[in-house]
Amino acid sequence: MSSNSRPVLLMPNTMLRFAIPSKGSGYDGSVSLLESCGLRISRANPRQYIATLRGLPNTEVLLHRPSDIVEKVAEGTIDVGITGMDLVRERRDDDEDLLILYEDLGFWRVELVFAVPQAWIDVSSLQDLADLAVELQGQGRPLRIATKFPNAVRRFCYMHGINAFRLVPSEGATEAAPSLGYADIIADITETGTALRDNQLKIVGGPILRSQACLVGSRRTLRNDPARLALARQLLELLEARRRGRLFHTVTANMCGTSVEAVGRLVTARPELAGLQGPTISPVWSKHTASEAATTTENWYAVNMVLPQEELLPALDYLRSIGAVSLTVLPVQYVFQAQSEAYMQLLAKLE
């Protein structure tokens, strides 16, 4: 029996250690995503940093700083966690013990960018920064860049011809570095750009990297503990099916016809608008009396289809054109496939 189909009996003390950001956009997005999957975080009070996850048994939720989540998952003291892709790339990009289980969870989208004082009207591109670095080098000092992401910034600078620079570690409010005089420019994460503008800074060039919330896992604990792997599979399946479900809608319409086959032929005449596998067509029980129903040779049928978002409006227009009435549309909660793609990828990485 294959490892993805063998049932695993969970020991009473087996717990999946699942970390999420403790505050900010990462926390809000994580809670919203989990609740949309039917999973609710429950903790005694807002200051408590350990919680349970209702809807997924044997799971302990730990609230940590996003950077700590990356480190602890890589070390194996946390099994899975939600963090920022920027932190993964910066801190553990080549660490084989840190697995990316789900690369884009659909929230917490930010960019790492260069920002310079707004008064620098002659600096508006990466080439201008490269020229400035050369000019400062001629004056006997490097271009000073304050950042919390030295590895990503260093790689990006060398790739774009900015070779004479010094990275200044920043643990506090990076936006204040130029005004306080300990850096010339900054490379920092921004979501809306408001904090940069408030500190009289402007973005120069394209993003150094784009980031979003991702799900990471520990190779050490998931490979060596089948019970924890089984719990991780449940979490992965729910997240994957929920993310996929958001892209689809269920359409129900009533149609008059002589038979199921006749209605089916009409609906599938446009196969690209006939649902994932095709429509489900069933007779509608008439609410009229038998004598009233007998006055027509046609019957009513209910047509049900699951459609991706981009096909929804064209399909509704086509259904109307062939006589469909009383069309209703509902969002799809989950779309499960025969096998979880994310889980199969995890098994491949573990092997």
Return d(Cα 194, Cα 96) in angstroms, integer.
Answer: 37
Q: Kindly report the CATH number assigned to the domain that includes residue 217.
A: 3.40.190.10
Band of the pLDDT at 335, cuts 50, 70, 90? Answer: very high
Q: Do 347 and 340 touch, CB atoms closer than 8 A? A: no
Encode pLDDT of 279-327 as tens digits.
999 999 877 655 555 555 679 999 999 999 999 999 999 999 999 999 9
Q: Give yes or no: residues 56 and 83 share one domain.
A: yes
Q: Is residue 1 assigned to a domain?
A: no
Q: Give yes or no: residues 22 and 43 share one domain.
A: yes
Strands 110-117 vs 201-211: parallel, antiparallel or unpaired: antiparallel
Q: Give yes or no: residues 58 and 93 share one domain.
A: yes
Q: Give yes or no: residues 148 and 189 share one domain.
A: yes
Range of the domain at 134: 110-210
Q: Give yes or no: residues 93 and 158 share one domain.
A: no
Stated pTM of the model:
0.87
Encode pLDDT of 259-277 as tens digits.
999 999 999 999 999 999 9
The structural domain count of the chain equals: 3
Q: Is residue 36 assigned to a domain?
A: yes
Q: For position 296, what pLDDT does the model report?
A: 57
Q: Is pLDDT of 68 > 70?
A: yes
Mean pLDDT of 334-341: 94
- Looking at the chain, the whole-number percentage of residues with pLDDT higher than 90 is 87
Q: Give yes or no: residues 90 and 22 share one domain.
A: yes
Q: Give yes or no: residues 39 and 103 share one domain.
A: yes
Q: Give yes or no: residues 60 and 21 share one domain.
A: yes
Mean pLDDT of 37-59: 91
Q: Do 213 and 107 touch, CB atoms closer than 8 A? A: yes
Mean pLDDT of 147-171: 95
Q: Is residue 21 assigned to a domain?
A: yes
Q: Give yes or no: residues 227 and 346 share one domain.
A: yes
Give the single-character DSSP code of 140.
T
Mean pLDDT of the chain: 92
Q: Do 121 and 60 touch, CB atoms closer than 8 A? A: no
Phi, psi (5° rounding) for residue 48?
-85, 135
